[in-house]
Amino acid sequence: MVDPKIEESWKSVLKDEFQKPYFESLKSFLVEEKKHHTIYPSGANIFAAFDNTPFDNVEVVILGQDPYHGAGQAHGLSFSVQDGVPHPPSLQNIFKELRDDLGCGIPQSGNLTAWAKQGVFLLNTVLTVRSSEANSHRNQGWENFTDAVIKLLSAQKEHLVFILWGSPAGAKASLIDSKKHLILRAPHPSPLSSYRGFFGSKPFSKSNHYLINNGKKPIEWCLA
């Protein structure tokens, strides 16, 4: 198979990763999966986080787990859903925290592309999923790939904000140089854990405070 279609700046920094044996195995796995199952997001959207936020533009990273597994939801950006799709519970809670943190209105659409265009890299640790089967593409190689992405961002960029929600995302803190980046850890926004410290964690204002203090533009988080 040819290398994946991905935005040019990312293609440049990830070219070695695409040649590794685990990535070849991952591509073979996905080819077989597509023969027998519906996979989300669609092929063109698997690398949407990269396509919407070129390497040089990344300022904030929000790390998710695997894509939404319902029809029409996932489009390649962590926590985001396509226009017209009801907000999943985790996204509802993200918007509530956004309201409480910055006074933003609750947007009608759960599409977070406007964040991505400003430099918010909405990365899932696993980039595909089988329809209706959460976590079905874990341990097939995606974690190796996204760990490499996180390490590259940490090593090659300065003063990024990494927002890590939940235990799996929090474990990625070990890949990030905390001397040159801000790491914000909190419980996952899922209804199962949001009241254990996600609400009140103020990730949006903390991100902007850090960006401004380091001579960068703040993110316009409000979508409504």
**What is the mean pLDDT of each successive set of 10 residues along the chain, which is 224 residues long?**
79 95 96 95 94 98 94 95 96 98 98 98 96 94 97 98 94 98 97 95 99 98 96
Q: Which residue range forms the structural domain that includes residue 119?
A: 8-213
Segment 15-18 long-range contacts (CB within 8 Å, at least 24 positions apart): 17/145, 17/148
Helix (H) or strand (E) holding 128: none
Q: Which two tokens stand for residue 94?
A: 């993200």
Determine, yes or no, domain membership for 167: yes
Q: Which two tokens stand for residue 132?
A: 């209706």
Task: Give the three-class secondary structure for 63.
Answer: strand
Determine, yes or no, domain membership for 59: yes
Q: Which two tokens stand for residue 39?
A: 């996979």
Determine, yes or no, domain membership for 202: yes
Question: Could you give the residue numbers annotated as active site?
Answer: 66
Determine, yes or no, domain membership for 192: yes
Determine, yes or no, domain membership for 221: no
Residue appearing with tokens 């199962």 = 192
Determine, yes or no, domain membership for 1: no
Determine, yes or no, domain membership for 218: no
What do you get for the CA distance between the two ends of the chain, in Å?
42
**Sequential DSSP letters for 15-33:** HHHHTSHHHHHHHHHHHHH
Cα torsion 125, 127, 129, 134 to 10°: value is 20
Determine, yes or no, domain membership for 119: yes
Q: Which two tokens stand for residue 25?
A: 């195995």
CATH at residue 111: 3.40.470.10
* Planar angle of CA 209, 222, 121, nearest 5 degrees: 70
CB 198 within 8 A of CB 186: yes
Q: What share of the chain is helix, strand, coil (3-state, %, to 5)?
A: 40, 10, 45
DSSP state of 90: H
In the chain, how many domains are there? 1
The predicted pLDDT at position 1 comes to 43
